[in-house]
Amino acid sequence: MTALMSLVDNVWMFYGMRFLLGAAEAGLLPGVVYYLTRWVPSANRGRILGLFFLAIPVASAIGAPLTSTLMSFHPWGLHGWQFMFIAEGLPCLLLAAVILKFLPNEPSDARWLDASEAQWITDTIHRENSDIAGDKAGHSSWTDGLKNGRVLALSAVYFSMVVPIYLMGFFLPSIIKEMTGGTVGTTGIGYIAAVPYIFTGIAMVAISRSSDRTQERMWHFAVPTLIGACGWVVAAATVSSSPFVAAVAICIGTVGAMATIPTFWTTAPKVVSGAAAASGIALISSIGNIGGFVSPYMFGIIRDAFPGEAGNSLSFLVGAIVLGIGGLLMIALSKTLPTTTPKSTKTAQLQHD
């Protein structure tokens, strides 16, 4: 679908292709998160999810200058944006073939595990799911994940993260252009836009590893998120008067919005298990990603109503408010979640790992 975006030649075709692209990619995040809950005990899940979600800031850091560079080429009579879609879309087809051939479905299918190791993983995860489900262990229905109030609360938290992430993805290049007075070219803007994602990638690995080491999840999410919200408040106040301070504050805000994603996704499987985990994780992702629809419209309206520096400041301020609400909601929600893994169990898991 990404490669076929190169064929778009009118607005309705763009809407249709963008819808199909969203539908095609919608199952990736909940699918991978659920897949990893079948493989990785909860004590180790933070850093494993951290490695997976590291793809987001890495792709953003590489993608910003790469996309700018690809758009400067015009092979075969194509526009730069057409070549960019083709060059970034087709490699996914090759990776899909590799995944289908080499990614095992269950631990028992893994050729690199012996029978005892595969059984240990399966038994450990089944025991954790039983602790979550209680008497319903092994009997959860997919509808249970859709009716769980804590799943809806986690959906709201995820929404609060997605909105500012899309602010960065859609509007950061324009903001950089306005901050630099238009003196930096498209490729230069791409390199500058990569900087916040570099810091985010480093922070993501550090936070997820610390969360696993301490077996603490909530504060590892809430503290960086609230600090990130404060960072964007500073960015809102300084974006027109002190570009350097604003740039540092933007990096802090981006870290708060994105580096806590792995820690967030270690929480969802503690709410539901079994079939309910699959539907619950999908619901969280679905509702949360509505933020990807709301965010461009909301910040687009803000920037149209308040052109230039005023729009930049107000955008960061609104992003900070939304992100801060998510952090506070997670603190309140954490009081209703199951307790963390007992230390003895955690030690046994880490030693085995």
What sign for the dihedral angle of Cα 114, 117, 120, 121?
negative
pTM of the model: 0.75
Q: Token pair for residue 282?
A: 């999908």
Average pLDDT over residues 113-133: 82
Burial 7-43 (b: 16+ CB within 10 A, else e): ebeeeeeeeebeeebeeeeeeebbebbbebbebbbbb
Residue 195 scores a pLDDT above 70: yes
Please give the radius of gyration of the chain, using alpha carbons only, rounded to the nearest integer.
Answer: 21
Q: Which of 326, 352, 63 is nearest to 218 (CA)?
A: 326
Q: Token pair for residue 147?
A: 């009716």
Which contiguous run of DSSP H or E holds residue 332?
A: helix 309-334
In whole angstroms, what separates CA 98 from the centre of its chain?
A: 23
The whole-angstrom separation of Cα 292 and Cα 298 is 10
Q: pLDDT tens across 134-170, in order?
A: 544 444 565 665 667 788 888 899 999 988 888 887 7
Q: pLDDT tens across 300-346, in order?
A: 898 888 887 888 889 889 999 999 999 999 998 887 765 544 444 44
Residue 271 scores a pLDDT above 80: no
Q: Token pair for residue 11?
A: 């607005």
What residues contact residue 128 under an 8 Å CB cut-off, 6+ apart?
Answer: 41, 42, 273, 341
Which stretch of 94-103, 157-166, 271-280 has the lowest confidence by average pLDDT? 271-280
What residues contact residue 286 under an 8 Å CB cut-off, 6+ apart?
Answer: 26, 30, 155
Average pLDDT over residues 252-276: 81
